[in-house]
Amino acid sequence: MLNGKPFSTEQEIRNEVDRQAAAGVDYIKVYAKSDPNQTAVAIDEAHKRGLKVIGHLQNTDWPTAAAEGIDFVAHAVSWSASALPPGKRAAYQAEQNSVGPIKARIFWLESVDVNGPEIGAVIASLKQHHISDDPTLIAYKTKFVPSEEYRGKQNVSLAPAAMQQSWEDGGLTADWTPSDFARMSRAWPRMLQIVDRYYREGVLLTTGSDLPNEWVVPGVSLHQEMELLSQAGIPNEAVLAMATRNAALALGLEKEIGTVETGKCADLVVLRANPLNDIHNAEQIQYVFSAGRLVMSGTPSH
């Protein structure tokens, strides 16, 4: 986007990447409406400027972006038609045209074959090109499967007031009916199963929460993300690695951070209870050290 309008030429994309590079950004992010050609141009220009590219993709599917050299993908799925069985793709396109891209995600999740070759192709492309994925399950769960746990006062009150106010209109699912939410709730386990398949087949996964999505509370949401990854069937030890070692590997900072080793940054969280036994114990924070200095002592009130 440029001044609120979609890019219309390749040069506009290159100019925008150059502008952001000159401003000192760390990464370039390509979004859902970017088509394969636009995505390829953005990746090419970013790499020329020494910047890595993150993809929040839909019009460009993950295998295509992987072949073009994208460095990371975000979110558990791309919602691309190509990730569905061929017999479901036309109906999915019709659903998007009928109810819009957000509500059509219900149909997508109902239609996806978790163990099918289409998801297998996505996984193969990520592994072949050494691309990490940040599933952000919490950003989906808060919107698509509403509950008191996420939308209730106890959770929402932990967010800054401006964020709370921005969530009052119901966000991206404000037009959903009880039937829509019920359908998505029934389909939701498929999302967890897809992420579990990523893990079992060796995709490098990290943890993140996709702020400032609706009802995604800073800080707390990272713990909620870890809990959802555990619910997906991923061992707690692996979930903890996603939040530490895997994140460092994805960013190319594994020599500096991510594990407790001599010579690395002494950024440490000391817990009161063992998160290997219960991932919720990651919230039982006793001490936080930054660069070897104690910056917090005590257990958060939440």
Dump pLDDT digits (tens) for 26-71.
Answer: 999 999 999 999 999 999 999 999 999 999 999 999 999 999 999 9
The answer to whether 239 touches 229, Cβ cutoff 8 Å, is: yes
CA atoms of 121 and 125, how far apart (whole Å): 6
pTM of the predicted model over 0.85:
yes
Of 3-17, 136-150, 155-169, least confident by mean pLDDT is: 3-17
CA atoms of 154 and 301, how far apart (whole Å): 11
The reported pLDDT for the residue numbered 3 is 57
* pLDDT tens profile 171-212: 999 999 999 999 999 999 999 999 999 999 999 999 999 998
Question: What percentage of the chain has pLDDT greater than the value 90?
Answer: 95
The answer to whether residue 302 scores a pLDDT higher than 90 is no
The answer to whether residue 5 scores a pLDDT higher than 80 is no
Q: How confident is the model at residue 8 (pLDDT cuts 50, 70, 90)?
A: confident
The answer to whether residue 102 scores a pLDDT higher than 90 is yes
Neighbours of 143 (CB within 10 A): 24
Q: How confident is the model at residue 301 (pLDDT cuts 50, 70, 90)?
A: very low
